[in-house]
Structure 1
Amino acid sequence: MSKKLKNEQQLLKEALRVGALYAEKRHAGRFESTDSVKQKVEYLYRLLVHDKLIQPLAKGQESEPLMKHKLALWISRQLPDDHPLLK
């Protein structure tokens, strides 16, 4: 498994927040308050793979922890270098 990022949990939260805005702007759906974190992670991961914004995980490697890690990596690359979550 990949090395854990610093602040990975907070990065994941930010990825879900930004990803929800992205999905809405793209008219690809919206997260509901009743959606579980697992559902949000899987949906956002699949949307970003579909839009070719992230590389898909290898077949058989699509676990929730790895999807969360991919989303945290994705958002860490979107944030400015001086963002508090990257320190």
Structure 2
Amino acid sequence: MKKHKNEAKLLKKALELGFAFAKKQGFADLDKSVPSTDRVECIYRLLVQAKQITPLAVDQEDGPNMKHKLVLWISRLLPPDHELLK
């Protein structure tokens, strides 16, 4: 699993866009008391269900792999010259 240079910032951006997508789909917003690991899993599962990303194998569904999958998803959505991809 290759790490991106700005992986933490890309994950933050992925969560922002993921929650915006969830809101458009009619889901309620998660409050700040929900742990970040649960937030990542919620957005990951929503994007898999919406067929925006391909699911991980069942034995690979853990926090780091889900985060990496979200980073890959957002890196494909951003324009190639975006500051987070440099």
Aligned to 1:45: 44
CA offset at residue 12 of structure 1?
0.3
Distance 2:64 2:28 in 1: 23
Aligned to 1:12: 11
Aligned to 2:75: 76
In the alignment, structure 1 segments of 5+ residues that lack a partner are none
User: Structure 1 or 2: larger helix share?
Assistant: 2
CA offset at residue 29 of structure 1?
2.8
Aligned to 1:33: 32
Aligned to 1:22: 21
Q: TM-score, normalised by structure 1?
A: 0.94
In the alignment, structure 2 segments of 5+ residues that lack a partner are none
Distance 1:15 1:29 in 2: 17
The RMSD of aligned alpha carbons is 0.8
Q: TM-score, normalised by structure 2?
A: 0.95
Q: Could you list the runs of 4 or more consecutive aligned residues of structure 1 that deviate by over 3 angstroms after TM superposition?
A: none
CA offset at residue 32 of structure 1?
1.1
How many residues are aligned here? Answer: 86
